[in-house]
Amino acid sequence: MGCSSSSTKTRRSDTSLRAALIIQNWYRGYKARLKARQHYALTIFQSIEYADEQGQMQLSTFFSFMLENYTHIHKEELELRNQSLESEQDMRDRWDYVDSIDVPDSYNGPRLQFPLTCTDIDLLLEAFKEQQILHAHYVLEVLFETKKVLKQMPNFTHIQTSPSKEVTICGDLHGKLDDLFLIFYKNGLPSERNPYVFNGDFVDRGKNSIEILMILCVSFLVYPNDLHLNRGNHEDFMMNLRYGFTKEILHKYKLHGKRILQILEEFYAWLPIGTIVDNEILVIHGGISETTDLNLLHRVERNKMKSVLIPPTETNRDHDTDSKHNKVGVTFNAHGRIKTNGSPTEHLTKHEWEQIIDILWSDPRGKNGCFPNTCRGGGCYFGPDVTSKILNKYQLKMLIRSHECKPEGYEICHDGKVVTIFSASNYYEEGSNRGAYIKLCSGTTPRFFQYQVTKATCFQPLRQRVDTMENSAIKILRERVISRKSDLTRAFQLQDHRKSGKLSVSQWAFCMENILGLNLPWRSLSSNLVNIDQNGNVEYMSSFQNIRIEKPVQEAHSTLVETLYRYRSDLEIIFNAIDTDHSGLISMEEFRAMWKLFSSHYNVHIDDSQVNKLANIMDLNKDGSIDFNEFLKAFYVVHRYEDLMKPDVTNLG
């Protein structure tokens, strides 16, 4: 009887063990599927982000093209603005920017006292936690004072650590103030014993860029030897036009916003481009290339790098002997060379410009070699061999960079020689990624600290958080798809030899990648984007279901509407560049001339008569001018998303 009882217990134990193993295997598979879905969503976010940056970089070649051609369209003297090329000598003095702006007694926000102390840092932090706005007078004064100190600094800041004085390296913050608060809460405020390096991209995308910038600048002014600021690719006023910081400034500072933007342009140009820790760790925002010359970068006049979108331009056109102003506020001399204040050396050489582009925009890859960064459109991809070559050449041991969102907040590659650090958690969507920072001390291994700001979703299960990410990723991908509806439809029909309205998944995926160029796993995504019949064929017109671009007027051709929607960000930047008086209006003549240049440069095949017809319709009061901001806002996507928003519908796994 005892033996029978023992045998029963053994069988029960075996059954329990098998059940536990089955549950464990199921859960592992479940977690793996969720991770795969999360990975696909992040891939969509990143591919579209890089495609947008590629479009932004392409604007640089357009501006060069525009500078060479625009004066030939307008023969008369044109007083056109280019914020990017105003010289410091043309800037108004401090009185016009700071002292002439009074702070009224009714202002109940933080009041800074110069020279600043650590008390002002605390004051600012508490005010921003209460969502108060710093008065424009103080914003401008902080920027002026910071620029004054930055002008005395070298291109690369050299710092030393010790066991009692570690340095903290933070990556991209992108306007996410809660992440900065969390870093200071976990790691302490900047001080003489707690130095920081902030590695660029303080602004854009997030809604609190100016607050982050003010906290960093005030901390820098209090501890100029212990808080270090590196320039990122978003410390660039042309990037701000597309990615949100410009609009944030103009929204929060309606009266003095334009003054702040003018000062910011010069502030960016004086930011150091890198930090070297203990003579062995290079900290730069983007990366390197096989031609990176740190000796040259140490002596380049960094303040001449106004914007990545304003490359060095030199033409040999034979203009009139008198200088002409082109339509972007740039002066051409008799030889067609751009100049701003009569100085022939106002701009970097092409080689110097490319050197800075590489360190602000490049990304590491596992493959050896150095090749163009086709995803972003600027900088390069550099392999482990390039890393070893450059580090060895300059007796360095490690490269710390930022510039790329990583799911865990950091990533180590190239045999431990390259570290990516990214400090903006929830960058794409709530729950999409952690943030991280690094602590460095001479002679020790870098230590990584991760975190994630959590709000509404902190108590949601993982599946629900992944569902939220997926829905957002699919939404922005559908917007990309609808913007190329005409091109995709033609591509589908060319593959559809039987005129059945159906293609194989492989054919559909080929068309999607060929037209959109996003390098996405289209076959895996197909079940989320299209209807697939019982034979496994794609009903390709279902690629455009539940979404459309709203037409501002019914007379507009679909191809024109899609083109204007697709290029609306580029066109907004271009129109802002030629808006002389900041009125938001451009003449019909300017509109037609710019469109002719734009369509020629971007190889857009649309009949000019369609554009002229639409422009005439949009000139509502028939005064010969177009409100181009309202014009571009008229092109927006409408989602019919009732079914997609149900958690079980979207599944990228």
User: What pLDDT score was predicted for residue 11?
Assistant: 72
Per residue in 541-571, pLDDT tens?
999 998 888 766 565 677 878 888 888 888 8
Question: Which CATH number belongs to the domain containing residue 228 in this structure?
Answer: 3.60.21.10
Q: In whole angstroms, what is the distance from residue 259 CA to residue 140 CA?
A: 8
* For the chain, percent of residues with pLDDT exceeding 90: 56
Give the Cα separation of 287 and 358 in Å (integer): 6
Whether residue 309 is contained in a domain is answered as: yes
Collect all residues with Cβ–Cβ distance below 8 Å to 548 and sequence separation of at least 6. Answer: 482, 637, 638
Read off the tokens for 86.
Answer: 């105003």
Tell whether 334 is covered by a domain: no
Do residues 528 and 583 both lie within one domain? no
Separation CA 332–CA 64 (nearest Å): 13
- 270 and 387, same structural domain? yes
Say whether both 579 and 538 belong to one domain.
Answer: no
- Segment 23-47 shows an average pLDDT of 86
b/e burial code for range 253-275 (CB count within 10 A of at least 16 → b): beebbebbbbbbbbbbbbbbbbb
Would you place residue 122 in the very low, low, confident or very high pLDDT band (cuts 50, 70, 90)?
A: very high
Provide the CB-side half-sphere exposure for 297 (13 A, CA): 23
Q: Where are the alpha helices (DSSP H) in 74-99?
A: 94
The predicted structure's pLDDT at residue 556: 64
Single-letter amino acid code for the residue at 154:
P
Can you point out the beta strands (E) in 95-244? 156-159, 167-170, 196-198, 227-229
Place of tokens 């929204």: 251
pLDDT on residue 551: 67
Q: Are residue 219 and residue 358 in the same domain, yes or no?
A: yes
Give the pLDDT mean for 580-590: 72
Pick 315 or 218 by higher pLDDT: 218
For residues 332 and 485, give the distance between their C-alpha atoms in angstroms, rounded to a whole number: 41
| pLDDT (0 to 100) of residue 117 | 97
> Which residue would you say has higher pLDDT here, 126 or 457?
126
53-102 confidence digits (pLDDT tens): 888 887 777 776 766 665 544 433 333 334 444 444 444 567 777 888 99
Could you tell me how far CA 368 lies from the centroid of its own chain?
26
Catalytic residues: 234
Q: Which two tokens stand for residue 421?
A: 């650090």
Q: Calculate mean pLDDT across residues 602-607.
A: 77
| Mean pLDDT across 104-129 | 96
Domain, as residue range, for 233: 90-147+156-313+349-451
pLDDT band for position 605 (cuts 50, 70, 90) = confident
Q: Are residues 443 and 580 in the same domain?
A: no
pLDDT-wise least confident of 332-336, 523-527, 609-613 = 332-336
Mark whether 288 and 163 lie in a shared domain: yes
507: domain CATH number? 1.10.238
**Contact (Cβ atoms closer than 8 angstroms) between residue 577 and residue 328:** yes
Answer yes or no: is 622 within a domain: yes
Q: Is the distance from CB of 633 to CB of 550 less than 8 angstroms?
A: no
Q: Per-residue pLDDT for 579 more than 90?
A: no
Is 68 among the domain residues? no
- In angstroms, the CA 406 to CA 414 distance is 16
**pLDDT value of position 554:** 61
Sorting pLDDT into bands at 50, 70 and 90, what band is 3? low
pLDDT band with cut points at 50, 70 and 90 for residue 598: confident
What's the CA gap between 124 and 141, in Å, rounded?
14
Encode pLDDT of 287-336 as tens digits.
999 999 999 999 999 999 988 777 776 543 343 333 333 333 333 232 22
Q: Of 578, 549, 577, nearest to 564 (Cα)?
A: 549
Q: How many CB atoms lie within 10 A of CB 195?
A: 21
3-state secondary structure 363-412: EECCCCCEEECCCCCCCEEECHHHHHHHHHHCCCCEEEECCCCCCCCEEE
**Among 161-175, 353-367, 604-618, whose mean pLDDT is lowest?**
604-618
- What is the Cβ-side half-sphere exposure of residue 298, based on CA atoms within 13 angstroms? 8
**3-class DSSP assignment, residue 368:** coil
- Is 572 domain-assigned? yes
Q: Estimate the crossing angle of helix 118-129 against helix 209-222, to 10 degrees.
A: 170
CA distances from 381 to 78, 107, 305, 417 (A): 41, 50, 22, 15
Assign 233 a pLDDT band (cuts: 50, 70, 90). very high
Q: Write out pLDDT tens, residues 99-113.
A: 889 999 999 999 999
How far apart are alpha carbons 267 and 249 in whole angstroms?
15
Do 362 and 419 share a structural domain? yes
For residues 484 and 608, state if they share a domain: no
Neighbours of 368 (CB within 10 A): 12
Three-state helix/strand/coil letters over 466-486: HHHHHHHHHHHHHHHHHCCHH
**Phi, psi dihedral angles at 411 (to 5 degrees):** -155, 140
CA distance 76 to 539: 55
What is the model's pLDDT at position 329?
A: 37
Across all residues in the chain, what is the average pLDDT?
84
The residue ranking higher by pLDDT, 146 or 58, is 146
Other Cβ atoms within 10 Å of 103 Cβ, number? 13
Tens digit of each residue's pLDDT (9 = 90 or more) over 358-379: 999 999 999 999 999 988 888 9
CA distance 479 to 645: 16
**Would the pLDDT of 653 be above 60?**
no
For the chain, what is the domain count?
Answer: 3
Which of 496, 512, 544 is a domain's end point? 544
Which strands, in side-by-side order, build the sheet including 370-372? 363-364, 380-382, 370-372
Does any domain span residue 164?
Answer: yes
| Domain presence at residue 469 | no
Beta-carbon count within 10 A of 548 CB? 16
CATH code (residue 575): 1.10.238.10
Q: Does residue 484 sit within a domain?
A: yes
| pLDDT computed for residue 7 by the predictor | 72
* Average pLDDT of the residues in 239-243: 90
What is the tens place of the pLDDT at every residue in 461-508?
Answer: 777 878 888 899 999 999 999 999 999 999 999 999 999 999 999 999
pLDDT of residue 631 exceeding 90: no
Alpha helices in 362-411 (DSSP H): 384-393
Q: Identify whether residues 512 and 406 lie together within a single domain.
A: no
Cα-flanking dihedrals φ and ψ of residue 157, to 5°?
Answer: -85, 130
Considering the domain architecture, whether residues 537 and 567 belong to the same structural domain is answered as no
Q: Report which secondary-structure segment, H or E, holds 362.
A: none
- Asked whether residue 565 falls in the same domain as residue 540, the answer is no
- Are 280 and 408 part of one and the same domain? yes
Q: Which residues lie closer than 8 Å to 413 by C-beta, 6 or more apart?
A: 364, 366, 384, 420
User: Residue 501: in which H helix or E strand, if any?
Assistant: none
Pairing of strands 274-277, 281-283: antiparallel
**How many residues appear in the chain?**
653
